[in-house]
Structure 1
Amino acid sequence: MNTETPAAQAARTRIVIYTDGSASGNPGPGGWAAILLRLDAENNVIKKVPLSGPGKSITTNIKMEMTAPAEALKALGSPTDEHITIYSDLQMISKGMNEWLLRWKARGWLNASKKPVENADLWQNIEAAAAGRNISWEWVRAHAGHEFNEEADTLAKEAAQLAARRGVTFADT
């Protein structure tokens, strides 16, 4: 019988998430995906959970890329002390969360040019999903042969195809 507390178990494991997004036509029908991994202290995969979903309206690659980390974090449930690393092949995600977010908020969601931050609603969604969590935001080069990034890419494209089959059109936006 394992008598280890959840906090002790979390100290020995960590979560790694690979995210991706796709839009067929850009803009067009879209999809997002995430590969959630629980790793042990030796970086062995203990558990792997693939997640994906179609966009509900005509969208862009960037919007789907930004949807993926928020949806992945929501799928984890309540925040814990466990460390999470999120990899995105859209460098804007890691830069936004690591560098830009605090400045945008301090300026009332205006960028350095004093214009409204694009996709502020999606940044706020990511921020809300990340609240109370210990997260590192990292960039991974797209299409460079990384197993989990490639898997997330495939799932995001499949989700975009599902959105297209469902008949998502510009009328839905």
Structure 2
Amino acid sequence: MAATFEPEVLLFTDGACSGNPGPGGWAFILRHPSTGKEMEKSGGERDTTNNRMELMAVIQGLQTLSRACSIELFTDSVYVGKGMTEWMPKWKKNNWQRKEGKQWKPVKNDDLWKQLDEQLQKHRVKYTRVAGHSGHPENDRVDELAVAAYQPYR
């Protein structure tokens, strides 16, 4: 019998950048369906990339949780989703290196991937891809928050 996944917490994340690299922002919404409690949080950086902000949104959301949880992560970032589900196991096995042609190179953003890996060891996370800018209310809201978070750095 297949194990079922009942998320205790829903995590909606997004990252945004004005230029890539450029000023960037990240945001998340954490929702606890059984209590109805919800939290929004965002932050920004002066000089970063979109991929770093996408990762930061997930890391910040997971770090906010005070105990291990089952989480359904909703993100429009294929980079984060494929990284978590496909690439990270290979990177870890190869000491955070990736093959580029015939050479081994350090994984880009390995500092953040390692932080995400640490959080993934604490929690049970299911990745669900959301189409960006498609009228998904929570995805639209985290996009709005992420864009607002980098405005002071423009």
* RMSD of aligned alpha carbons: 1.8
2:66 maps to which residue?
77
1:5-24 alignment to 2 at 5 Å?
14-24=8-18
The reply to whether residue 125 of structure 1 matches residue 119 of structure 2 is no
Work out the percentage of aligned pairs sharing the same amino acid.
36
Name the CA distance, whole Å, in 1 between partners of 2:123 and 2:75.
17
TM-fit CA distance, 1:62:
1.1
Counterpart in 2 of 1:8? none
1:29 Cα offset (Å): 1.3
Query: Aligned-pair distance for 1:13?
Result: 6.4
Residue in 2 that maps onto 1:106: 93
Aligned residue in 1 for 2:80: 93
TM-score (norm 2): 0.88
Count of matched residue positions in the alignment of Structure 1 and Structure 2? 147
Distance in 2 of aligned mates of 1:137 and 1:13: 11
Is 1:143 paired with 2:133? yes
1:33 aligns with 2:22: no
Where 2:122 maps in the other structure, the secondary structure is: coil
Structure with greater proportional strand content: 2
Which one has the largest radius of gyration? 1
Task: String of CA shifts for 1:79-110, please: whole Å, max 9, x gaps.
Answer: 2xx31011111111111111111110111111
Structure 1 residue ranges, 4+ long, deviating more than 6 angstroms after superposition: none
8 Å CA contact retained: 2:14, 2:139: yes
2:124 to 105, 116, 134: 134
What is the alpha-carbon distance in structure 1 between the residues aligned to residue 142 and residue 152 of structure 2?
15
Question: Using the alignment, how far apart are the partners of 2:38 and 2:89 within structure 1?
Answer: 32
TM-score for the superposition, normalised by structure 1: 0.78
User: Compared with structure 1, are the counterparts of its residues 163 and 12 closer, same or farther at alpha carbon in structure 2 (3 Å cutoff)?
Assistant: same
Quote how far apart the aligned CAs of 1:47 are: 1.6
Displacement of 1:39 in angstroms is: 1.3
Deviations 1:108-127 (A, max 9, x none): 11114332211111111111
